[in-house]
């Protein structure tokens, strides 16, 4: 059994949305713990991550052909694919009456369709090896409602259900699929519609029983664990990592 410091030694991973925040922390931690990594993002900043055993790929998760390109890059470079982390995500803030079909579709395409496409292609590469781990970055918004982000909550609810259903199909081939129900994490997620999204997330996190938002590295630890053989009996779970935000308090 691997110890924590080398828990993904010798594994080959693909992480989407790896230029920033949680995805970047996951790509860096998997690499640090011994995995070879393809780090994919629509933002060319992902190229800053390039190093031995860490290959950046500038691509949009929603575009036809991206998932195929990313998986084949991993297989060509590392000989196989063991780990997929579907992390790429965005959030749109609009009341329902103001939301266009285009807004809605963009949110679903980014947060769910991209994960479906990457999971499908990753599974094709994993099935012959009879092993693999897929980690989807869901949210406490997979279960909880917040005014103004209906498309986001619907997309994360769908991602949680994709996780469970895919887990049933995948485990027959030795592939584990799980998700993380992430709480508030200080990242750039909200920066495209508010001036200081990081301050908002830090402040919102104070509502959790733990009294603070998370650092992206705290979520990366869980992703690395779920991706590793240490999590060998965890199948179809949405592991809550939200500082207690989802605890029903009496």
Nearer to ligand NAD, 110 or 228 (CB): 110
**187 lies in the site for ligand NAD, by CB under 6 A:** yes
- 98: CB partners within 8 A, 6+ apart: none
**61 lies in the site for ligand NAD, by CB under 6 A:** yes
Site string for ligand NAD, 87-116 (x = CB under 6 A): xxxx-------------------x---x--
Task: Tell me whether residue 152 is one of the annotated catalytic residues.
Answer: yes
**117 lies in the site for ligand NAD, by CB under 6 A:** no
Q: Which residues pair with 181 in a beta bridge?
A: 138, 240
Nearer to ligand NAD, 38 or 88 (CB): 88
Nearer to ligand NAD, 22 or 55 (CB): 22
95-102 contacts at long range (C-beta below 8 A, 24 or more positions apart): 95/147, 95/148, 96/150, 99/150, 99/151
**7 lies in the site for ligand NAD, by CB under 6 A:** no
**37 lies in the site for ligand NAD, by CB under 6 A:** no
Beta carbon of residue 188, minimum distance to ligand NAD (angstroms, whole number): 4
**47 lies in the site for ligand NAD, by CB under 6 A:** no
**119 lies in the site for ligand NAD, by CB under 6 A:** no
Q: Which of 12, 19, 179, 226 binds ligand NAD (CB under 6 A)?
A: 19
**62 lies in the site for ligand NAD, by CB under 6 A:** yes
Interface of this chain with ligand NAD, residues 120 to 159, rule: CB under 6 A:
137, 139
Binding footprint of ligand NAD on the chain (CB under 6 A): 16-17, 19-23, 41-43, 60-62, 87-90, 110, 114, 137, 139, 182, 184-185, 187-189, 201
Known catalytic residues? Answer: 152
């Amino acid at each position: 059994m691997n110890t924590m410091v080398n828990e993904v030694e010798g594994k080959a991973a693909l992480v989407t949305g790896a230029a920033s925040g949680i995805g970047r922390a996951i790509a860096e931690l998997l690499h640090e713990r011994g995995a070879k990594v393809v780090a994919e993002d629509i933002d060319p900043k992902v190229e800053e991550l390039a190093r031995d055993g860490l290959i950046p790929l500038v691509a949009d998760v929603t575009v036809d052909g991206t998932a195929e390109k990313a998986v084949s890059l991993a297989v060509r470079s590392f000989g196989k694919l063991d780990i997929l982390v579907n992390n790429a995500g965005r959030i749109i803030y609009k009341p329902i009456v103001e939301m266009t079909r285009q807004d809605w579709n963009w949110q679903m395409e980014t947060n769910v369709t991209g994960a479906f496409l990457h999971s499908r292609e990753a599974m094709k590469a994993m099935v012959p090896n009879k092993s693999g781990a897929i980690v989807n970055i869901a949210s406490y918004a997979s279960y909880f409602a917040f005014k103004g982000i209906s498309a986001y909550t619907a997309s994360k609810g769908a991602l949680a259900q994709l996780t469970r259903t895919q887990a049933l199909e995948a485990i027959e081939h030795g592939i584990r699929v799980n998700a993380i129900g992430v709480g508030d994490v200080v990242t750039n997620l909200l920066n495209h519609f508010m001036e200081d999204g990081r301050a908002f997330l830090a402040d919102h996190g104070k509502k959790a029983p733990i009294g603070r938002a998370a650092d992206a590295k705290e979520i990366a630890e869980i992703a690395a664990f779920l991706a590793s053989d240490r999590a060998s009996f965890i199948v179809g779970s949405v592991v809550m990592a939200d500082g207690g935000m989802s605890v029903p308090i009496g």
